[in-house]
């Protein structure tokens, strides 16, 4: 074997080893910390500049003990009223409430220093955090004007009080926003706030065994569905148009279209007197698609859908 062959072999081995180390390293995930004062901080990953820290949230879902890695979730909401209660949203958009939670008092995170333009790290106390959006930059938030608490943009009602939320910026209500009537005595299920009298049993995530199915929906009943959809901030319209097309499929199929819809704007579509039941909602805007499931039961049902 000549020197050239030896050089090539060692070079290939070195490159394979370097690639293995680079792709195998845990780089963590980015996201946004939303603070209780209305501010938000985009983070590169949780941990320090030299270490990725893996955080978990453990608690009880109904009668079962569960534990989730932050990286497997899409959103984590901390309760100011009940410190041991946490609302989580998984990657599929399903929402669950955990009780008797075990959490760290604070979280280390890495951010881009606006002065030095270099990565630095610090610690945020859990009591100062409203919620964490995982995997993307998120600047929009909702607020309960009565309690001045902040919630994720996808929420329509306060999950603890039932009051309708309004859009907020920098800790203040967006001009022109006015809160609607509260829906007291209810709770969240999927993407819809449902009155307590008709609240279905929660659907268990894959990590735990299934809970009892929701009660059957009475035949022959109708409901009004008010569906609020927020188009993406940056419209990607390759091989498509700028129409917002919304289809709901359940006991019957309905479709609505908004011609030449603007990017980063809310549209409310009303479906009047549709048969009560579970509907799959599919919204398309250019090449983007958002999907959710809504249980339509009661006189008026409000739901909200956002593109990732």
pLDDT by residue (tens digit) across 116-169? 888 899 999 989 999 999 876 666 788 888 888 888 877 888 887 778 888 877
Strands 300-306, 222-230: pairing kind: parallel
Task: Calculate the alpha carbon distances from 135 to 44, 72, 73, 86 in Å.
Answer: 10, 10, 9, 19
User: Average pLDDT, whole number, for the chain?
Assistant: 75
- Tell me, what CATH number does 231's domain have? 2.60.40.10
For residue 226, being part of any structural domain is answered with: yes
Say what the pLDDT of residue 17 is.
43
For residue 278, being part of any structural domain is answered with: yes
- The distance from CA 280 to its chain's CA centroid, rounded to whole angstroms, is 18
Task: Calculate the alpha carbon distances from 180 to 72, 114, 177 in Å.
Answer: 34, 38, 9
For residue 238, being part of any structural domain is answered with: yes
pLDDT higher at 8 or 172 = 172
Say what the pLDDT of residue 103 is.
81
Q: Which range marks the domain in which residue 237 is found?
A: 216-306
pLDDT higher at 200 or 167 = 167
* Residue 210 scores a pLDDT above 60: no
For residue 52, being part of any structural domain is answered with: no
Are 258 and 244 in contact, with CB atoms under 8 Å apart? yes
Say what the pLDDT of residue 257 is.
92
Burial class (CB in 10 A: 0-12, 13-18, 19+), 189: buried
pLDDT higher at 200 or 101 = 101
Contacts with 25 (C-beta within 8 Å, 6 or more apart), sequence order: none
- Of 115-129, 166-180, 244-258, 288-302, the least confident: 166-180
| Number of domains making up the chain | 1
Q: How would you label 130-140 residue by residue, b for 16+ Cβ within 10 Å and e otherwise?
A: bbbbbbeebeb
Tens digits of per-residue pLDDT, 10-63? 454 444 444 333 333 456 888 899 888 888 888 999 999 899 999 989 999 888
Of 62, 300, 38, whose CA–CA distance to 195 is shortest?
A: 300
- The distance from CA 75 to its chain's CA centroid, rounded to whole angstroms, is 5
Mean pLDDT of 267-278: 91
Say what the pLDDT of residue 185 is.
42
* Residue 230 scores a pLDDT above 90: no
Backbone angles phi, psi at 102, to 5 degrees: -110, 115
CA angle 85–93–204, rounded 5-degree value: 60
For residue 35, being part of any structural domain is answered with: no
Neighbour tally for 122: CB within 10 Å = 14
For residue 154, being part of any structural domain is answered with: no
pLDDT higher at 138 or 268 = 268
For residue 140, being part of any structural domain is answered with: no
Provide the percentage of residues in the chain whose pLDDT is more than 90: 18
For residue 160, being part of any structural domain is answered with: no
- Of 92-96, 135-139, 234-238, the least confident: 234-238
Got the DSSP string for the chain? --HHHHHHHHHHHHHHHHHHHHHHS-----EEEEETTS-EEEESEEEETTEEPP-EEEEEETTEEEEEEGGGEEEEEE-SS-TT-EEEEETTS-EEEEEEEE--SEEEEEEE-TTT-SEEEEEEEGGGEEEEEESS----EEEETTTTEEEETT-SB-TTT-PBPEEEETTEEPTT-------TT-EEETTEEE-GGGPPPPPPPTTSPPPPPPPPPPTT-EEEEEEEEE--SS---TTS-S-EEEEEESSSEEEEEETTPPSS-EEEEEEEEEEPEEEEEEEEETTEEEEEEEEE-SSEEEEEEE--
* Residue 196 scores a pLDDT above 90: no
């Amino acid at each position: 074997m000549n020197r050239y062959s030896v050089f090539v072999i060692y070079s290939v081995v070195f490159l394979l080893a370097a690639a293995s180390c680079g792709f195998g390293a845990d780089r963590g995930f980015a996201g946004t910390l939303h603070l209780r004062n209305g501010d938000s901080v985009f983070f590169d990953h949780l941990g320090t500049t030299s270490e990725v820290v893996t955080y978990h949230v453990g608690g009880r879902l109904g009668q079962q003990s569960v534990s989730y890695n932050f990286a497997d979730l899409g959103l984590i909401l901390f309760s100011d009223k009940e410190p041991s209660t946490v609302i989580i949203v998984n990657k599929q958009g399903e929402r669950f409430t955990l009780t008797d939670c075990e959490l760290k008092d604070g979280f280390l995170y890495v951010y881009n220093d606006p002065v030095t333009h270099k990565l630095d790290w610090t610690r945020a106390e859990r009591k100062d955090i409203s919620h964490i959006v995982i995997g993307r930059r998120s600047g929009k938030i909702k607020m309960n004007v009565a309690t001045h608490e902040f919630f994720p943009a996808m929420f329509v009602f306060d999950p603890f009080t039932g009051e309708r939320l309004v859009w907020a910026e920098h800790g203040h209500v967006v001009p022109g926003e006015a809160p609607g009537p509260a829906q007291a005595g209810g709770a969240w299920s999927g993407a819809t706030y449902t009155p307590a009298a008709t609240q279905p049993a929660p659907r268990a995530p894959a990590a735990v065994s299934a809970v009892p199915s929701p009660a059957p929906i009475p035949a022959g009943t109708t409901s009004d569905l008010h569906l609020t959809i927020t188009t993406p901030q940056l419209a990607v319209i390759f091989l498509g148009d700028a129409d917002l097309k919304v289809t709901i499929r359940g006991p019957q199929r309905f479709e609505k279209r908004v011609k030449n819809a603007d990017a980063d704007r809310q549209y409310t579509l009303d479906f009047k007197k549709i048969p009560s039941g579970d509907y799959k909602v599919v919204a398309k805007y250019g090449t983007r698609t958002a999907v959710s499931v809504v249980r339509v039961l009661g006189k008026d049902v409000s739901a909200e859908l956002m593109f990732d």
